[in-house]
């Protein structure tokens, strides 16, 4: 797992935003798995400011509450519309979010899995992490091989999400969520975590045993996971000095320039690719680093 520790949530988010921007520019019809919650709010704001071309991008959200209509103010449909989709030029037909009102949950879930496969699989899956290590709504003790299905939320997760509903008692008990096995098939997992309350979950996910008691620890078995953390979320990591050194000393072929609206030079593996800005001119040589190994 690649661990990128930045001083603030803004800086950690900027690394993630650059990673997504590069993907969208390199592969305009990329398939991106999206998350909701407080963590990606800043990321969505940064992505909107980047004015990327989302016309061909296809998205699959991780989860939705069972029993909530798409237009319910606390549904993840509403969340995504408000915080990302209505600000970008994505095509409605390319957006996929689990249907909280489906009458046949198992049939819906297998169709969702099929749609992901038909899209060619997920290129990049964005992830937050729960205070107990859940990813998507795969609560502790979820099968590490699980697929999209219904899950029952723990009281901790319902409490953590009470703010979106105006009270814990209003938070639904059930959700539809991509499984851990589904998430593990994404070609790149990009996890964000900020704040001290995520420090224990992050330490377990990155340096603990692989266990269903911390579902994010399954990402240790994923060939390409990047975790973008602020100092507080990283505060319980034993190897943090090592992660910082690794990131500060990346070989040139792993660096990209520049971070925002241009495209810059990126290399993947040994093959260096010269990418140009949209008008075809070379870009200034200010250096930023993105995950990629
Ligand atoms: C939401 C999701 C959840 C959240 C997690 C953290 O789509 O997948 O796993 O990422 O509950 O939530 P926040 O970001 O609100 O701390």
DSSP 170-206: GS-SEEEE--HHHHHTSSEEEEEE-SGGGHHHHHHHH
Among candidate residues 64, 10, 68, the one with its CA nearest the CA of residue 39: 10
Is 135 near ligand 1, meaning CB less than 6 Å away? yes
Q: Pairing relation of β-strands 255-256 and 288-289?
A: antiparallel
Atom of ligand 1 nearest to the CA of 40: 14
Report helix, strand or coil for 6. strand
Of ligand 1's listed atoms, the one at least distance from the Cα of 157 is 11
3-state DSSP call for residue 18?
A: helix
Q: Which residue shows structure tokens 């603030």?
A: 8
Q: How far is the CA of 153 from the centre of ligand 1 (A)?
A: 12
Cα 126 to middle of ligand 1, angstroms: 10
63 is annotated as an active-site residue: yes
- Expressed in angstroms and rounded, the spacing between residue 177 Cα and the centre of ligand 1 is 11
Ligand 1 contacts CB of residue 39 (under 6 A): yes
Given the residues 64, 123, 132, 230, the one annotated as active site: 132
- pLDDT tens, per residue, the chain with 293 residues: 999 999 999 999 999 999 999 999 999 999 999 999 999 999 999 999 999 999 999 999 999 999 999 999 999 999 999 999 999 999 999 999 999 999 999 999 999 999 999 999 999 999 999 999 999 999 999 999 999 999 999 999 999 999 989 999 999 999 999 999 999 999 999 999 999 999 999 999 999 999 999 999 999 999 999 999 999 999 999 999 999 999 999 888 776 544 444 433 333 333 333 333 333 333 333 234 455 44
In the structure encoding, which two tokens stand for residue 159, read together?
A: 């409490």
Instruction: Considering the candidates 63, 99, 123, 231, report the single residue annotated as catalytic.
Output: 63
- Rounded-to-integer distance, Cα 76 and Cα 106, Å: 20
Domains, the chain, in order of start with CATH, read 2-249 (3.40.50.1360), 252-293 (no CATH)
What six digits make up the tokens of 40?
A: 């990606």
For residue 33 and ligand 1, the question of a CB distance below 6 A is answered with no
* Residue 275 near residue 267, CB atoms below 8 Å: no
Contact yes or no for 80/34 (Cβ under 8 A)? yes
Using a 6 Å cutoff on CB, does residue 98 contact ligand 1?
no
Could you count the other beta carbons within 10 Å of the beta carbon of residue 174?
15
- Kindly give, in sequence order, each residue whose CB lies less than 8 Å from that of residue 131, ignoring residues fewer than 6 positions away: 156, 160, 197, 198, 200, 201
Q: Ligand 1 centre from 257 Cα, in Å?
A: 30
Ligand 1, atom nearest to 37 Cα: 15
Please enumerate, as own/partner, the contacts of 275-281 that have beta carbons within 8 Å and a separation of 24 or more.
275/25, 275/26
Per the CB < 8 A criterion, the answer to whether 217 and 209 are in contact is yes
pLDDT digits 0-9 by tens, 141-155: 999 999 999 999 999
Give the DSSP H/E element, type plus range, for residue 150.
strand 149-152
pTM score of the predicted model? 0.88
* Structure tokens, 12: 């950690």
Tell the residue nearest (CA) to atom 11 of ligand 1. 130
Distance CA 30, CA 119 (A): 9
């Amino acid at each position: 797992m690649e661990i990128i520790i930045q001083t603030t949530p803004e800086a950690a988010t900027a690394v993630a935003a650059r990673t997504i921007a590069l993907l969208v520019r390199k592969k305009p019809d990329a398939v991106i798995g999206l998350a909701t919650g407080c963590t990606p709010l800043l990321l969505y704001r940064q992505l909107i400011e980047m004015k990327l071309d989302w016309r061909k991008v296809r998205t699959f959200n991780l989860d939705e509450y069972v029993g909530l209509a798409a237009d319910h103010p606390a549904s993840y449909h509403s969340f995504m519309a408000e915080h990302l989709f209505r600000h970008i030029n994505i095509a409605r037909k390319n957006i996929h979010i689990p249907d909280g009102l489906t009458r046949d949950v198992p049939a819906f879930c297998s169709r969702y899995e099929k749609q992901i496969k038909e899209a060619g699989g997920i290129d990049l899956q964005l992830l937050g992490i729960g205070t107990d290590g859940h990813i998507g709504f795969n609560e502790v003790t979820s099968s590490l091989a699980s697929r999209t299905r219904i899950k029952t939320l723990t009281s901790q997760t319902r409490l953590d999400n009470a703010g979106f509903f105006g009270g814990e008692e209003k938070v639904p008990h059930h959700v539809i969520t991509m499984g851990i096995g589904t998430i593990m098939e994404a070609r790149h997992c990009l996890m964000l975590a900020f704040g001290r309350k995520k420090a224990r979950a992050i330490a377990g996910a990155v340096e603990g045993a692989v266990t269903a008691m911390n579902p994010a620890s399954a990402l240790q078995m994923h060939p390409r996971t990047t975790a973008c953390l602020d100092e507080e979320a990283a505060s319980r990591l034993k190897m943090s000095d090592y992660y910082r050194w690794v990131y500060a000393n990346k070989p040139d072929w792993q660096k990209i320039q520049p971070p925002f609206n241009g495209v810059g030079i990126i290399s993947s593996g040994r093959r260096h690719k010269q990418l140009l800005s949209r008008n075809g001119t070379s870009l200034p040589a200010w250096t930023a680093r993105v995950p990629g190994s």
